[in-house]
Structure 1
Amino acid sequence: MGGLLRLTPVADDLAERFQRAGFQLALVGGSVRDALLGRLGNDLDFTTDARPEQVLKLVRGWADAVWEVGIAFGTVGCRKADADGNSFLIEVTTYRSEAYDRTSRKPEVSYGDTIEEDLVRRDFTVNAMAVALPGPRFIDPYGGLEDLSKQVLRTPGTPQASFSDDPLRMMRAARFAAQLDFDVAPEVVAAMTQMSDRIEIVSAERVRDEFNKLVLGDHPRKGLELLVSTGLAARVLPELPALRLERDEHFRHKDVYEHTLTVLEQAMDLETAGPDLVLRLAALLHDIGKPRTRKAEPEGRVSFHHHEVVGAKMTKARMTKLKYPNDMVKDVSRLVELHLRFHGYGSGEWTDSAVRRYVRDAGPLLERLHKLTRSDCTTRNKRKATALARTYDSLEERIGQLQEQEELDAIRPDLDGNQIMEVLGVPAGPVIGNAYQHLLELRLENGPMAYDDAVAALKQWWAAR
C-alpha cells in the first residue's frame, strides 16, 4: 500500500470532511489495484454512502473545480491540487448497483447503504478492494488481493450475474488482460462465450471506448485473442475473426489472422512517442479486405487482388458503425488503402515522380505509413526480410533527398489559381481546376519548373484543348 502514502494529504483531507458530515469515504476499485501494483496515477476513485447532492455540497469550496457530468449515475467529479502542486482528478460515487434489462442500452442506477454491497457489483475482484479513510482500513471481502498476486481476473459474484448487470464487463475482461497481462479465470471465459450476444445491447460508443483501451494496452494480442475465442469479436468487430481463413490443398497461404496480430505487435515496436491508436488500428485492419477478395489461382496459389481498396471501404464502414471520430476514420482508412503502395513499385530504383506521388498521397500520414509498411513484413525468410528492409531504407533516403530539394510536404503546382486565370484570361470555374490539376501532374512527374516554363506548359495545354 506504499503508493497510497503519496495521497494522504488530499485523500485524508477529503475523508475528514466527509467524516465530520457523518458520512463514510473509501478509496476504491482501480485506484487501490494500481496502488498495490505500484502504478498509481493522479486519477482517484472514491465511494461513499453520501448521496450525490450531499457529495456536491462537500466538495464545493474544497475542490479547485467541480463537474456534474456523471451525477445521473451517482458520480461527482472534481480536481484538487496538494501543497506541492500535484493535481488530482477525483471521482466520488455513491454506493450503488447497476442493472440492465434485455432491451435497455443504459444502466439503471440504484443506491446502496454499505460498501460491501457496492463492492460486490464491481466488475472483478481485483477492482473490488477498498481502503476506508481516514485510517486507513483495508477492505477486501472477495479475495481481490489474492487474485492480484496470482494475476487472474475473477468476478466478485458469479460471472453470469456480473455480465447480466453490465455486458460491457465481458469486453473489460479482455481489456484488463491486454493492459495488465492477467489471465481470465476459466469460469469467466465460459460465461463470456455463453453470453456474448448480450454485448449487442451496449451502445457503440461504450464498446468503442473499451476496445480502444484494449488496443492501446501493452499486450493487445492477449485481449484480442480472448475476444475472438469467446465470440465477442464476431459481435463487435467481425472482420477480425473472419481473417482466420481456412487452409486446405486448394487455398494454401499463411494465416492472415496470426499475420495481423504480428503486424500489430511489430507496429508497436516502432512507436516513438507512446501508444498510437491510429497506427495500431491500421495495423489491425490492414488486411480485412482479404476474405472478400480471395481467389484461387493455378498451381494452388491464392490471390487477394485489390484487397487494400476493399479493406479501406470496410474499415470506414466498421469504424463509422463504432462511432469513431470522422478524422480518425479517414486516417485509418487511408493507411489501409496505402499499405501496399510501396510493393507496387517493386524492388527497383524509385523515380523522382514515384517518390513525389508516394509522399503526396500519404500526406501527414507519411511517418505512420512508413511504420505500417515496415511492420507488414512477417516473413520468416531472413534474406527476403532484409531485402525488403533495405529497399524501404532506400525509399526513405530518396524521400529525404527530395524533401530537401523540393519541399515535398507542400507540393503545389508552379502557378496558383490566380496566375492561371491571368495567363488564360478566363474567370474562376471548372476549367481553372482542370488547369490546376494538369500543372500539379506535371509538378509530380517532372519536379519544379521556372515561372516562364510553367506558363508555356499551361498555354500548350490550353491550345491543345
Structure 2
Amino acid sequence: MHPEARELGARFEAAGHELYLVGGTVRDTLLAGGDPDLLGDVDLDLATSAPPEETERIVRPWATAVWLTGAEFGTVSCQREAEGRPTRNVEITTFRADSYTPGSRHPEVVYGTSIEDDLARRDLTINAMAVRVPEFRFVDPFGGLQDLRAGLLRTPIDPHTSFGDDPLRMVRLARFASVLDAEADSAVTVAASEMADQLGAVSAERIRDELVKLVAGRAPRRGLNLLVRTGLSAHVLPELDELRACRDPQHRHKDVWLHTLAVLEQAIDLEDRLPDGGPDVVLRLAALLHDIGKPDTKEVHRDGTVTFHHHDVVGARMTRHRMRELRFDKETTRAVSELVRLHLRFHTFASGWTDAAVRRYVRDAGDLLERLNALTRADVTTGNARKAARIQRHVDELEERIAVLREQEEIDALRPPIDGNAIMAHLGIRPGPLVGQAWKHLLELRIEEGPMDEEATLAALDAWWAEHAGETGGQ
C-alpha cells in the first residue's frame, strides 16, 4: 500500500539510518484493513534517526520536490511523482523528545535517540504506533493497536504530563472520540477535566481546526459530549454549556441540549440530499448552533408555558460572534449564521405557500437553499409521529413547488429586468438612495407577481415615481 515508504526505507537503511512510518499514516492504514480504496490517497508521515540535513541529502535524488520550511523543527517535506501512482506528499521528521516550558505554546526542539522516545511524546496511543521500513516491522510500545481495536483513547504517558506539554491534546481527544467513535479512558477524562483551564493558552486557530474535524467526524455527539463533560467546552464553544442548562420545566423531552444533538445527527443523515454530499461542515455547525439563542430569549409565563421568541435572530448574532472569535473565514461564518437566522423561516408560511412566498423563501435562502431545507427537516424532533410526518410532508410540498417555479421562471436569480443604470436613464435622476429604493420596489413586484417584461417594469417604475418624485432632494 505504501511503495514510497519501502523505497525511502531502503535509501535510509543504506545510509545507516532508521526510518519508520508513524502517526496517522499507521493508524489509518490499520483501519483500512489492507484495502487501498478505503485508505484513499494519504500523505506519508515518517520518523527517522537521521538529522534534517542528512534527510535532505538522502531524499533529494528520490523526490520530485523538497521543502525545508520545517527543517528548524526537524522536518523535511518532499513530494514524489511516479508514473502509475498518485502524487504522494511525504514528511520526514527526526526522532523527537521535545520538552515544554509551562505556559509556553511551543516546545523546545530536542532530538530523540530512539523511536520509542519519539512515540512516547505523541498525543494518543493510537497515534503512537510505528512501522519500520523497508522491512515493515510493527512497533507498538504502548498498546495502540489494542486500543484502536477496542475503540479506546489513552495517552502513551501520564495524561497530566501529556496535556501539560500541549493543552490542545485535550481537544484532540474529543476530536478522535468523534472521528473514530471511540471512548476516552477514565484517566484521560479526569485529567482533561482538571486541566481544562490550560486550554486558554492555545490559539483560537488551533482550536478551530480541531473543532472542524470533530464536527466532520462520524460520531460528533460523542466528541461534543466529551467537551461538555470535561469543561473543555467553556474554552471551545461556551454556548454549549448554556444549551445544556436550558430546559423546558414542563416538557422534559424538550431538553435543548439533547434536542441540539438530535438535530445534528438528523442533519448528518440528510447530507446525501445535498449536491456535494457530506460531511458538510456548514450544515453540521448550523445544526449545532441553531438554538444557541434560546437561553438568552427564554421566558417562563404565568401559565407555565415557555417561549424563545426571536431566538433565531439572537442566535445568528451569537453565531457570528463565536465564529469570529474562533477565526473562521468570512464565507463559512456568513453561511452558518445565515442558516441559524433562517432556520424558522419555513414555519412562517404555515398558512400556505403562495408563489410569492416560495419566491421570497428561495431569494432569502440563496445559495443555502438545500442546506436550509435539510436543517428544517432535521429540526423536527417531536415525539409525535403524526406531527413529524406532517412537517416533513410540507417540506416535500415546498420543494415540489420550488421545482415547478424553476421550470416556469428564473426563480434562483430573482431580479427586475432593468438595473440601476436603466432606472436612472428612464427617470432622469442621478445616483443616490432613490435609485436603490426604486430597484427594491421593482424586486418586490417581481417576487409578488412573477416575471415582468421590460415594458411592464417601466410602467410600474413610472407609477412608483409618481408617488416619490417629491423626494428627489434636488436630484
| TM-score bucket (shorter structure) | over 0.9
Sort the Cα spacing of 1:380 and 1:251 in 2 relative to 1 into closer, same or farther, 3 A. closer
Q: 1:216 to 1:351 in 2, by over 3 A?
A: same
CA contact (8 A) 1:29 1:127 kept: yes
Q: What residue in structure 2 maps to residue 181 of structure 1? A: 181
- CA shift, 1:137, in A, is 1.9
Task: Tell me the distance in 2 between the aligned counterparts of 1:431 and 1:249.
Answer: 51
Change in CA separation of 1:155 and 1:462 when aligned onto 2, cut-off 3 Å: same
Deviations 1:215-236 (A, max 9, x none): 1011110111001100001111
Residue 107 to residue 408, structure 1, CA distance change in 2 (3 Å): farther
1:308 aligns with 2:312: yes
Q: Which whole-Å deviations, capped at 9, do the CAs of 1:365-385 have from their partners, x for residues lacking one?
A: 111101111100011100000
**Corresponding pairs, count:** 458
**2:464 aligns to what?**
461
1:392–1:110 CA distance, 2 compared to 1 (3 A)? same
8 Å CA contact 1:216, 1:275 repeated in 2:
yes
SS at match of 2:418: coil
Q: Report the counterpart of residue 202 of structure 1 in structure 2.
A: 202
Pick closer, same or farther for the CA change 1:250–1:117 going to 2, 3 Å: same
What whole-Å deviation, never above 9, does each CA across 1:64-83 have from its counterpart, x for those lacking one?
22233433432222222345
Task: Give 2:294's aligned residue.
Answer: 290
CA contact (8 A) 1:79 1:88 kept: yes
Question: What corresponds to 1:13 in structure 2?
Answer: 7
Q: Give 1:3-402 correspondences, 5 Å limit.
A: 6-7=1-2, 9-38=3-32, 39-41=38-40, 42-247=42-247, 249=249, 254-272=254-272, 273-346=277-350, 348-402=351-405
Alpha-carbon distance between aligned partners in 2 of 1:78 and 1:275, rounded to the nearest angstrom: 29
Any conservation in 2 of the 1:414–1:443 contact (CA below 8 Å)? no
Q: Distance in 1 between matches of 2:231 and 2:309?
A: 29
Q: Partners of 2:334 and 2:430 in 1: how far apart?
A: 33
Q: CA deviation at 1:427?
A: 2.5
Contact 2:105 2:166 in 1 (8 A): no
Counting aligned pairs with the same residue, the percent is 57
1:199 and 1:326 map into 2 onto residues whose CA distance is 25
Deviations 1:316-360 (A, max 9, x none): 0101111111110011000000000001112x3211111111111
Return structure 1 stretches of 4+ with deviation > 6 angstroms.
250-253
Offset, 1:186: 0.6
Out of 416, 419, 423, which is 2:419 matched to?
Answer: 416
Distance in 1, matches of 2:348 and 2:107, equals 51
Gaps of 5+ in 1: 1-5
Cα shift at 1:264: 0.6
- 1-structure distance, mates of 2:86, 2:457: 59
Deviations 1:264-291 (A, max 9, x none): 1101111122200101000000000000
Residue 62 to residue 434, structure 1, CA distance change in 2 (3 Å): same
Q: TM-score with structure 2 length normalisation?
A: 0.93
Partners of 2:316 and 2:108 in 1: how far apart? 38
Note the aligned Cα RMSD (angstroms).
Answer: 1.7
Compared CA separation, residues 246 and 332, structure 1 to 2 (3 A): closer
CA distance in 2, matches of 1:369, 1:119: 45
Q: Bigger CA drift: 254-263 or 412-421?
A: 412-421
- Partners in 2 of 1:274 and 1:250 — Cα distance? 36
2: CA distance, partners of 1:224 / 1:249: 24
Whole-Å separation in 2 of the counterparts to 1:196 and 1:214: 17
Letter in 1 for 2:165: D
Counterpart of 1:226, as a letter, is: L
Question: What SS does the corresponding residue of 1:157 show, helix, strand or coil?
Answer: coil
Residues 99/410 of structure 1: CA separation in 2 closer, same or farther (3 Å cut): farther
Shift of 1:160: 0.6
Contact 1:98/1:108 (CA < 8 Å) preserved in 2?
Answer: yes
Q: Does the C-alpha gap of structure 1 residues 72 and 338 become closer, same or farther in structure 2, counting only changes over 3 Å?
A: farther
Maintained 8 Å contact 1:51/1:74:
yes
Aligned to 2:449: 446
Q: Distance in 2 between matches of 1:245 and 1:208?
A: 24
Deviation at 1:249, TM superposition (A): 4.9
Cα deviation, residue 251, structure 1: 8.1
- Give distance in 2, aligned partners of 1:72 and 1:149: 36
1:425 aligns with 2:428: yes
Query: 1:131 aligns to what SS in structure 2?
Result: strand
Measure the CA separation in 2 of the matches of 1:281 and 1:68.
Answer: 36
Does structure 2 conserve the Cα–Cα contact (< 8 Å) formed by 1:252 and 1:300?
Answer: no
Q: Please identify, of 264-273 and 85-94, the stretch whose mean Cα deviation from structure 2 is larger.
A: 85-94
Q: Which moved more, 1:177-186 or 1:36-45?
A: 36-45
How far did 1:28 drift? 1.0
Q: Secondary structure at the match of 2:21?
A: strand
